[in-house]
Amino acid sequence: MWSAVFNRDEREDGVVALLRRVPVFNGLSRREIAMLGEISHCRTYEPGEYIFRKGQPGAAMFVVSRGLVRIVDHDLDGSGVELAQVEEEGFFGELALLDDAPRSASAQAVRSSEIHAFFRVDLENFLAGMPQAGLQVYRGLAHVIGERLRATNVQLLNI
């Protein structure tokens, strides 16, 4: 009986279970992740719909709960070059948590997709009262950005 009360792994809320698998949030406690889930904003995007477009202000990071998203950079002639695909449990737009720079590419739903957004201002307010959690999130961001930069360097060397 008590294990059912104290062990929530099997009954975990969907967004909490999702966030526990996002590398940026590694190191956060179950309670911190649950609180983080409370500041997420969930929306469904239809196939072909843009989550954001290149050049727009970056204000949020996104986690794919269901569906598929492509990250694309549009050339001057309007044709797009696909840079990546983000599947369920994947995330994108994380640089928006670090700076105010415009988006460097567009994100578009490939199929019906449920996406959780974390806006920089909400995350900053959340982490202001939890400096240890903030340290963990920013370490997670640094790790992910470093991995993605190394992967990009490898791709550039193979061109």
Mean pLDDT value across residues 37-61: 95
The amino acid sitting at 24 is V
The token duo for 137 is: 């999130």
140 phi and psi angles, rounded to 5 deg:
-60, -45
Provide the domain limits for residue 25: 2-157
Mean pLDDT value across residues 46-67: 96
Number of structural domains the chain divides into: 1
Per the CB < 8 A criterion, the answer to whether 90 and 100 are in contact is no
CATH number at residue 42: 2.60.120.10
61-119 tens-digit pLDDT? 999 999 999 999 976 666 778 999 999 999 999 999 888 899 999 999 999 999 999 99
